[in-house]
Chains A and B, each alone.
Chain A
Amino acid sequence: MSELARRTGWATRFGLIMAMSGNAVGLGNFLRFPGKAAPYGGAFMIPYFLALVLLGVPLMWIEWTIGRHGGAHGHGSAPGMFHRLWRRPISKYLGIFGILLPAMVGIYYIYIESWSLGYAWQTAVGSYWDQTSVKAMRGVFHNYLGIGEGPLSFSGQAYGFFLVAFLLNIAIMSLSISKGIEFVAKYAMPALLVLGVVLAARVLTLPPVEGRTIADGLAQIWHVKDWSVLAKPDVWLAATGQIFFTLSVGLGMVHSYASYLHKREDVTLSGLAACGTNEFVEVILGSTIAIPAAVVFFGVTHTQEIVAGGTFSIGFHALPVIFQQMPAGQFFGTLWFLLLFLAGLTSSMAMFTPLLLFLEDELRIPRKKAALCIGAGVFLMMQPVVLFMHHGMVDELDYWMGDFGLVLFGAIEVTIFAWIFGLDRGWKEMHLGADLQVPRIFYYIMKYVTPVYALTLVAWYVRRSLWAKVSMEGVAGADVPYLWLARLMILGVAAFLVWGVWYAWRTHPKFFEGADATEDAP
């Protein structure tokens, strides 16, 4: 089959695992995780690890398996993969989520990633070095983004770094998987790990400040202040959402990477290794840097206020102040923002891969041309996100695509895999060429627990926040048109993908091959 012959695949297994780990390791490991864990203390880790075992790891194995299975049929994105699992017209349309979600997340994620690059530069040259309070640094941050009195959130510096990050992502994506994503991941991930360990070691050896020690900082994450928080649904929702977000499951990117695997290439051990690497970065490094350093320099109460200020407060407002008070702070500050940039880059370069492979595999557009089309389309859609950021466009896209959407897609894929394709066949498919025999308890977890857990989560999202989001409850009148613009962008891309699936399934020869049509029919 010509589609299969042109797939070059991963050059090395190390490169594959670094790319998969890099896909999972992102800004959320260093910024989102500490912010989610700190308010609940050590009790947070209980639902976090339960969600990891019952939802995260099973979904990771399922996505690797679906991806490899689809790739063997020449599909690099979820519509074709779902079609091979479930031969009903709706399956390929459900697969659209696996392209839409990562692409729309990528539209704002690259901009956020570029802030890290900009701040690495600003720290290296010491441009904010006289701003020594969190409040002052908040002003620096708003100034950097160009958020002020004017109608647009624009600054030349932020836009310049955004262009650098955007072009870098498109350039990596346009190359073959081994020369682009794998090459970058092979160097970026080890570099990220080294930077993370160096920074964690620096924080752990900080001397006490006004009697506050590093142990006081670690206690914010690890000391169980109150077990009764486990009775609150909020902590379970926060922990489970974090697992989806941190492992990048429920997005469609793992599927696309796994589609480059050969039919009998291991997925169980490699999938577990990717989860393990991500947890090392998140739980060990992510919990050791930002919050403990903030507690030592600002105290517990002020740190809690900073954390309550949002995901970026700790990383972009508080830590720059700390670096200014730390010996060799300019050096460590630059490392911190480079670390964030590498974490962002290794994730964002995967985000447009499902769309690229959809154009390439299903619509038969050559790779370079497809990358150019994506680059142009994405660049256009990024403009309102950048220029009207202060009107909440990023938050709107993040809720629908990076929050509710991935939980919904996770629930859909586990249901299709475990109950429609059938877990007996799925289990067998998963273990083709396996280097690790998955313990049999996971057969039952994947069949019963993971689908129920994921569907319960969807129901909880619907009950708790969906209507308030749909009706824009509490949104300022001036922001409403911009949130509608964000929704129109989502609907526009979704409409294109619906057309693309409809067109591909009517015209692509591979969907009319008799052998393919019956081989895997459930």
Chain B
Amino acid sequence: MTLFSWIYMLAVWAAIVALNVFCFARIFTKRNRPPNHGEQPPADGEET
């Protein structure tokens, strides 16, 4: 494993763990639930 390989692997692992923490923290705390349950799609040409 080179230094780049270690960084690469740990960065991917960190991203996956962060994704799980983000999802499950929101699920268990149920914060930030949008009051509007009918999000509109973006209009044509709208910046993303």
Contact = CB atoms under 8 A, between A and B. Distances in A.
B37 A264 contact: yes
B48 A276 contact: no
30 contacts: A13-B27, A14-B27, A17-B27, A42-B5, A49-B12, A222-B6, A223-B1, A269-B23, A269-B26, A270-B27, A272-B19, A272-B23, A276-B23, A279-B19, A280-B20, A283-B16, A284-B13, A423-B41, A427-B39, A427-B40, A428-B39, A428-B41, A431-B37, A431-B38, A432-B38, A435-B32, A435-B34, A439-B48, A440-B42, A443-B41
Contact of B5 (A224, A269, A284): A224
A435 B5 contact: no
Interface in B16-48: 16-17, 19-20, 23-24, 26-27, 30, 32-34, 37-42, 46, 48
A14 B23 CA distance: 12
A237 interface: no
B48 A440 contact: yes
Nearest to A275: B19
A443 B6 CA distance: 34
Q: Is the interface of A mostly helix, strand, loop or mixed?
A: helix
Contact of A428 (B20, B32, B38): B38
A376 B5 CA distance: 51
Contact of A432 (B6, B9, B37, B41): B37
A279 B9 CA distance: 14
A434 B32 CA distance: 10
B24 to A, nearest CB: 6
Contacts, number: 92
A164 B24 CA distance: 34
A518 interface: no
A49 B9 CA distance: 13
A143 to B, nearest CB: 38
A273 B38 contact: no
A124 interface: no
Interface of A: 13-14, 17, 42, 45, 49, 215-216, 218-219, 221-224, 264, 269-270, 272-273, 276-277, 279-280, 283-284, 423-424, 427-428, 431-437, 439-441, 443-444
Contacts of B30: 435
A444 B48 contact: yes
Contacts of B19: 272, 276, 279
A276 B26 CA distance: 13
A428 B38 CA distance: 5
Contacts of A440: 42, 46, 48
B21 to A, nearest CB: 9
A42 B23 contact: no
A284 to B, nearest CB: 5
B39 A434 contact: yes
B1 A215 contact: yes
A282 to B, nearest CB: 9
Contact of B1 (A222, A273, A427): A222
Contact of B26 (A14, A284, A428, A436): A436
A436 to B, nearest CB: 7
Contacts of B9: 42, 218, 221-222
Contact of B13 (A276, A283, A424): A283
B23 to A, nearest CB: 4
A273 B20 contact: yes
Contact of B20 (A14, A270, A276): A276
Given A14-B27, A224-B4, 8 more contacts: A42-B8, A223-B5, A427-B39, A434-B37, A435-B27, A440-B42, A443-B48, A444-B48
- The 5 A-B residue pairs whose C-beta atoms are closest, nearest first, are A431-B39, A273-B23, A427-B41, A222-B9, A223-B5
B5 A222 contact: yes
B30 to A, nearest CB: 7
A221 to B, nearest CB: 8
Contacts of A424: 41
Contacts of B46: 440
Contacts of B32: 435
A284 B16 contact: yes
Contacts of A273: 20, 23-24, 27
Nearest to A264: B37
Contacts of A441: 48
Contacts of B4: 224
A433 B37 contact: yes
B12 A45 contact: yes
Contacts of B37: 264, 431-434
Contact of B17 (A222, A224, A280): A280
* Residue with the highest number of chain A CB atoms closer than 10 Å, among B13, B23, B37: B23
Nearest to A435: B33
A14 B41 CA distance: 29
Contacts of A283: 12-13, 16
A428 B4 CA distance: 42
A215 B33 CA distance: 43
B36 to A, nearest CB: 8
Contacts of B17: 280, 284
A438 to B, nearest CB: 8
Contacts of A264: 37
A60 to B, nearest CB: 12
